[in-house]
Amino acid sequence: MEKRRLGRTGFMVTPISFGALPVQRCTMEEAGEVLNAALDAGINFFDTARAYTDSEEKIGRHMSGRRSEYYLATKSMARNKAAMAHDVDLSLAAMKTDYIDLYQFHNVKAEQEWNEIMSPGGALEALKEAKAAGKIRNIGITGHNLDLLVRAVKTGEFSTVQVPFNCVEQGAAKELFPLAKSLDVGVIVMKPLGGGLIDHVDLALRFVLQHDDVVAIPGMDRVEHIEQNLAPTKDFTPLNAEETAKLTAEAEALGSNFCRRCGYCTPCVVGIEIPAMFILHLQYTRYDMKTAIPERYKGLKVKASECVECGECEARCPYNLPIRERMKKVAQDLG
């Protein structure tokens, strides 16, 4: 399989690599099947996070014996030095490895967070010390705030930047991608399939791969996802005019303000499965499933109408979605 250089890390990685967020939905046994199938297929870059519940543990259980076959990336929401140092050690233990190839700041979206990370006693100090000690090899940053990511890349402190990019969210290509290339910062594309909501998988991934300086990490939690996601890398061809039009039409139908199923909004204080509510509502409206979806909705233990409007979910959402208002709409439409 083709490899792409991940910026100044020097890592030659598969252009379609492994996003491990959905692995937390697998049982321990299922996770082993998926992770090893990905390795067997040639994928050599795996991205996870402390926030993905037991994802790191599953990687440690099933992949530690094949450590020489892949590059390992994880990330932490810690913002101060002590918390970040603790998280690095937790990641090393969970994934049963002596080193992590790339450790990233996870979802940095606010000025206050950025200032805390970069200030004396901030989390950057911990990662620099971890790098000096050989615990990690590179430092990266992830997020959805393009202005903040541009500022981060300009500091020279980061080997990689991870950002959402797909046929709906194309903003990163305007300034961030060329800037990163000029400074030899590797670009990791999250949400290349819009959190799984873009139907034309082949077209969506080819759209991303047309940008030859990026690596995409679609989420995978089933073995069949691996073959499907790797298909565009075989005899790769850019999108033609007809394919571009088809993908553009789908992007317009989705709009820019939709749930990507990242799960950062959870857990809900009253137990509402927030992403599931939005997926059901999207299916109800987009696919005109006016009978089947309300029937499925009736079987849910906790419904959208039970939202207490505390707002905790909105504070955690990286896309700043108006979740409380949307819950009202779900309750109104689905019963």
Q: Kindly report the CATH number assigned to the domain that includes residue 104.
A: 3.20.20.100
Q: Last residue of some domain: 223, 238, 253?
A: 238
Helix, strand, coil percentages (3-state) for the chain, rounded to 5, are: 50, 15, 40
Is there a single domain that holds both residue 233 and residue 293?
no
pLDDT higher than 80, residue 261: no
CA-based end-to-end distance of the chain: 49
Is there a single domain that holds both residue 52 and residue 138?
yes
- Backbone angles phi and psi of 26, in degrees to 5: -80, 155
Q: Which residue in 327, 201, 211 sits closest to 275, CA to CA?
A: 327
Q: Last residue of some domain: 192, 221, 238?
A: 238
User: What band does 287 get if pLDDT is binned at 50, 70 and 90?
Assistant: low
Average pLDDT over the chain, rounded to whole?
Answer: 94
Query: What SS3 state is found at 54?
Result: coil
Is there a single domain that holds both residue 55 and residue 171?
yes
Cβ atoms within 10 A of the Cβ of 205, count? 26
pLDDT higher than 80, residue 120: yes
Is there a single domain that holds both residue 78 and residue 125?
yes
Is there a single domain that holds both residue 42 and residue 183?
yes
d(CA 290, CA 288): 5
- Tell me which H or E stretch contains 314: helix 312-316
- Give me the domain span that covers residue 301: 274-334
Q: pTM higher than 0.75, yes or no?
A: yes
